Amino acid sequence: MAARGRLRKVAQDVLKKISIDELTIGMYVEKVDRSWLEIPYFRKQIQSPDQIETLRKFDVQVLYIDTARGTSQDKAPDSAGPVEGSAKPVEAGTAPGEVAKPHAQESVFDAEKVQVCRAFQKQAVNCVKEAFAALASGEPPNMEEAEGVVEGLIDHMTRDTAILTTLAKLKAYDDYTFMHSVNVTIFSLIIGKALQYTRSDLTKLGIGAMFHDIGKTQIPNDILNQPRPLEPHEMVQVQKHPLHSLALLRDVTGMSVESLRVSLEHHERLSGQGYPRGLKGTNISEFGMIASIADVYDAMTTDRVYQKKAEPHAALARIYAMAKENFNVGFVERFIARLGFYPIGSVVILTSGEVGVVTATHLDHLLCPVVMVLLDRTGQQLGSPDFVDLLYDREKRRVQSVTGAAKYGLSVQDLLQIA
């Protein structure tokens, strides 16, 4: 028997087909009944009920377990605990079996870095404000300054993604449009960086994202801020804003075609159900598709007159659920992998009953953040916060659910000391 055939025979001998209901801790999952690309992260050896839950969430029904490497129904698990070294978690885009490169832990608890990012965020918002005012009055925006801001965001992104994303989601400025423009720039750059774009492409992407909604200056404010559902004729007006953006930006010296496509295509959807042109599939540029994900995420996680904001994890879950029809699934997966399943600032309830706020993430262990525990299991506030790294404490406690800060009288802004 040829070597390849022997290997296949061995594989068949140890692979056992089971249903998701039969999956238990300790089993080693070799294959599932859907593409790995549809599952944003996965650890091959099942080490916790969360992993089984994750597979259920992504609608996995049938699995093939490797009985030589993990437990099967025929033999009891040696241990329900983690089996480090035998199976490492993988990031989105990493094939099962490949070991994800270790990432440094990110934390927002570096007051100096937070201050620098805060100042930079203000500068970015002011830059957008000035550029919008210039364009609305027929003047060209200061492209040099805008490019400087985008370059600065790219630099910060390399070191301080967690800080930037946390600051982006704090209600810091009353004017939604300017803050939204900066946030969409940040989130677009996160995806662009995950796709390993060159610095030049990142700058074009960032410039496009920064000005994507400039066309809204041509829509009356009472329509934009309408709390009731829009009338059909109002909707037609709103849906023209990408065309207005293009018209305002196309003659600006230094504006690239790629940046223009961000402004024109950020409401297009894979299915062709988007606007203004109803483009389908690959007719939408990568830049436009990236900005559409960033735009929807920021819109979902922001309070507006017509909607209550969603918690980051809920918004990511909704975007993932709608990804197949609307977005590039791979881009969405990279975005989720980069932000983390429990983004910094999420208020979480642990399996122990304690309540705390996520203060840091392990980029290759998305389900195990660092949590600042504030309330004990009876709901009493602790004298001083207890920092728990769930990566090293998962035997005792894990994240059970995510909750709202207000429900517990907590202000994430105060807690993270970034007011």
User: Using CB under 5 A as the criterion, which residues of the chain lie in contact with Fe ion when the complex forms?
Assistant: 213
Between 16 and 304, name the residue whose CB sits nearer to Fe ion. 304
Instruction: State in angstroms the smallest separation of the CB of 269 from Fe ion.
Output: 13
Between 30 and 213, name the residue whose CB sits nearer to Fe ion. 213
HSE at residue 397, side-chain half, CA atoms within 13 A, is: 21
Between 72 and 217, name the residue whose CB sits nearer to Fe ion. 217
Q: CA 17 to CA 30: how far, in whole Å?
A: 10
Instruction: State in angstroms the smallest separation of the CB of 263 from Fe ion.
Output: 8
Between 213 and 311, name the residue whose CB sits nearer to Fe ion. 213
Between 270 and 371, name the residue whose CB sits nearer to Fe ion. 270
Provide the H-helix boundaries in 275-383.
286-300, 312-326, 329-339
HSE at residue 182, side-chain half, CA atoms within 13 A, is: 31
Instruction: State in angstroms the smallest separation of the CB of 68 from Fe ion.
Output: 53
Instruction: State in angstroms the smallest separation of the CB of 329 from Fe ion.
Output: 22
Between 184 and 255, name the residue whose CB sits nearer to Fe ion. 184
Looking at this protein, which amino acid is placed at residue 283?
N
Instruction: State in angstroms the smallest separation of the CB of 98 from Fe ion.
Output: 37
Cβ atoms < 10 Å from Cβ of 383 = 6
Residue of this chain nearest to Fe ion (CB atom): 213
Cβ atoms < 10 Å from Cβ of 14 = 16
Helix 257-265 with 286-300: angle, nearest 10 deg: 40
Looking at this protein, which amino acid is placed at residue 241?
H
Tokens 């392990």 belong to residue: 362
Instruction: State in angstroms the smallest separation of the CB of 114 from Fe ion.
Output: 29
Is the four-CA dihedral 29, 32, 36, 40 of positive or negative sign?
negative
Q: What residues contact 58, with CB distance under 8 A and at least 6 apart?
A: 34, 38, 39
Between 258 and 268, name the residue whose CB sits nearer to Fe ion. 268
Instruction: State in angstroms the smallest separation of the CB of 276 from Fe ion.
Output: 10
Task: Say if residue 242 is preceded by a cis peptide, omega within 30 of 0.
Answer: no
Two tokens, residue 242: 């990408």
Q: CA 3 to CA 12: how far, in whole Å?
A: 14
